[in-house]
A and B are shown apart, each in its own frame.
Chain A
């Protein structure tokens, strides 16, 4: 096969699009948002994936906050015969205990998201403190902290969670959050540590050291603001982890079965044999909700990654233009050579 490298002549405007990986209309549409939003939130509005994720997430947050309005009354109340299929009276049917599945799903959003965000914040804060200390101070401190991170990373999550929850207790909200945080802090810590290590080598940090700024000031005023996008990504990852781990723990019966959350809903569905009586409506809503929330977070992360990672970005810009121009590319990997048309 002969090697052909397509040479493209581009308008200067298109060159700019490739550079930013953005399309014209999108850019203007979100220009207003970008003006008031802080710099780390702006990338979120450039990606369709991230916008889809944020919309799904906002819907769930709204449902959780408005639960008492949308579905008043106690979600644990006995309302009708057990295992009734969905009907106009009970939109999602009833559980094996005669509870309304719709009400349980809406109220479940409250507790699940609450735990998810609490653990997400807690793990990110612990991860930041440990990761930045390790990355900034290096040497002995880094060795010890990294050892702890690696140990917590390598110990399998669910067995650790089960042992911790069984002994420390998980009926109490604070303990529950503590157990999940203790299992999940190592991942963000490691990501933040390596980012701190690389930022520390930058000239502006060296400059502040020369000027005589104190260590903690450099960490919080110089390094931290430059890592915000990574911290946001860690927060998203930690929240996904928290929601999944919480569901697994509750499903195993280590949560508080008296609380209404998506995990305990699944626990009851499994326990009351909803499965083998054909009552699919007892376990489908909770699972779909967990998945949609996790998916929303993952989409936001994916979108941010696509924008902040220059290699992923440049390629998709070029591909977009190639598609629009209907340029036939060869079967080879060669990147098309881009030539800017001279502006007269």
Chain B
């Protein structure tokens, strides 16, 4: 329990740090974001937009600590400011639906690459210098070297555009209205194959190599020899004895990998016009919508922190040493 408490405290501090970063950055800018934007948009901005933006930042004449306090309390009340690109809707409204799509895409990609990569790593370590161990690592290392969005571009070009196998863009077919029925879910499934598949292709190599290397260390432990000497079936030794313990570092990495995968998903979404946060992020960047960028940053950070907390809880179940120590 003390372990969970410590982790929880860390996540709170991490969230507070990203809040503070959000507070400091606009104030580091020469001038203030509102004026800077006014200049860059060459006056094509409503004075009321400008005013609401200044207010959203708490850029008032109050002393800094008061501004800071106001900023933190308003964020904790769920107020992330007003979006500029889709004025005057609040940022929370703009990102609510896209948040769901990003989490869906990120989770699907992460779980597939984790499961498949770990399995390949187990097999690779088990049959050292066999087919899986000698052919796959260099190939996966190579595909892992491509930027996420580039693999996505190529897949889009060939699979979607040239051969017309899978839908090109969006999260579901254009005419459909979202609902809990088979046609809609089927359409979502079809639309997620390419974005998720390309992320898996990049991410899987890391999981495989990590698992393989831990497995190799574990396989030389005495208790593996013991298990074999007892005449247990190969599968039992492989999964229940070796793999179970080799999983632990991978589970720790899972939480951190979520950050990487979500980062990858954000850029991949841009390619597939997938209506997630990445797409909103691009809009925000193009239109200099600072509140939206910051809102996305905060929401993603929060999601990753929560995911890490869940992984920690899971870890306590997997590793008895944590419970007692």
Residues of A at the B interface (CB closer than 8 Å) are 1, 3, 49, 147, 150-151, 153-160, 162-164, 166-168, 240, 244, 247-248, 251-254, 266, 269-270, 275-276, 278, 280, 283-284, 286-287, 290-295, 298-299, 302, 309, 311-312, 315-316, 319, 323, 331-335
Contact = CB atoms under 8 A, between A and B. Distances in A.
A291 B228 contact: no
Given A150-B10, A302-B141, A157 B260 contact: yes
B245 interface: no
Given A159-B263, A291-B150, A315-B216, A166 B290 contact: yes
Contacts of A312: 213, 216
Contacts of A270: 153, 270-271
Interface residues of B, number: 71
B225 A248 contact: no
Given A157-B260, A287-B146, A290-B147, A167 B300 contact: no
B25 A167 contact: yes
Given A151-B17, A156-B259, A159-B263, A333 B219 contact: yes
B94 to A, nearest CB: 15
A293 B146 CA distance: 10
Given A154-B304, A275-B161, A167 B266 contact: no
Contacts of B225: 333-334
Interface stretch (B173-181, B182-190, B278-286): B278-286
A319 B128 contact: yes
Contacts of B262: 156, 158
Given A247-B147, A323-B129, 8 more contacts: A158-B263, A163-B294, A167-B26, A253-B286, A275-B153, A280-B157, A290-B147, A302-B141
Given A315-B128, A332-B228, A335-B220, A155 B14 contact: yes
14 contacts: A3-B231, A49-B138, A155-B14, A156-B259, A159-B301, A162-B297, A163-B22, A247-B147, A248-B267, A252-B282, A253-B286, A290-B145, A291-B145, A333-B225
Nearest to B230: A3
B281 A295 contact: no
B8 interface: no
Given A159-B281, A315-B128, A332 B234 contact: yes
Contact of A248 (B126, B147, B256): B147
B224 interface: yes
A214 B165 CA distance: 67
Contacts, number: 172
B144 interface: yes
B234 A331 contact: yes
Nearest to A154: B14
Interface string B280-323: 01100110101001101100110011001000000000000000
A166 B301 CA distance: 17
A154 B267 contact: no
A46 to B, nearest CB: 18
Contacts of B224: 333
A150 B14 CA distance: 8
Contact of B297 (A160, A247, A254, A278): A160
B217 interface: yes
B154 interface: yes
A332 B237 CA distance: 10
A316 B146 CA distance: 28
What is the interface of chain B mostly: helix, strand, loop, or mixed? Answer: helix
Contacts of B300: 156, 159
A151 B13 contact: yes
A176 to B, nearest CB: 15
A160 B260 CA distance: 12
Contact of B285 (A162, A293, A294, A315): A162
B120 to A, nearest CB: 16
B239 interface: no
A201 to B, nearest CB: 21
A291 B146 contact: yes
B100 to A, nearest CB: 17
A167 B14 contact: no
A227 B213 CA distance: 21
Contacts of A280: 157
Contacts of B149: 248, 251, 266
B142 interface: yes
B297 A283 contact: no
Q: Which of B234, B259, B270, B282 has the most CB of A within 10 A?
A: B259
Given A159-B301, A276-B161, A166 B285 contact: yes
B150 A275 contact: no
A144 to B, nearest CB: 11
Given A312-B213, A331-B234, A159 B296 contact: yes
B28 interface: yes
Contacts of B264: 158
A252 B225 CA distance: 52
B156 interface: yes
A287 B150 contact: yes
A252 B28 contact: no
A316 B129 CA distance: 8
A244 B288 CA distance: 23
Contacts of A167: 25-26, 28-29, 33, 290
B273 to A, nearest CB: 11
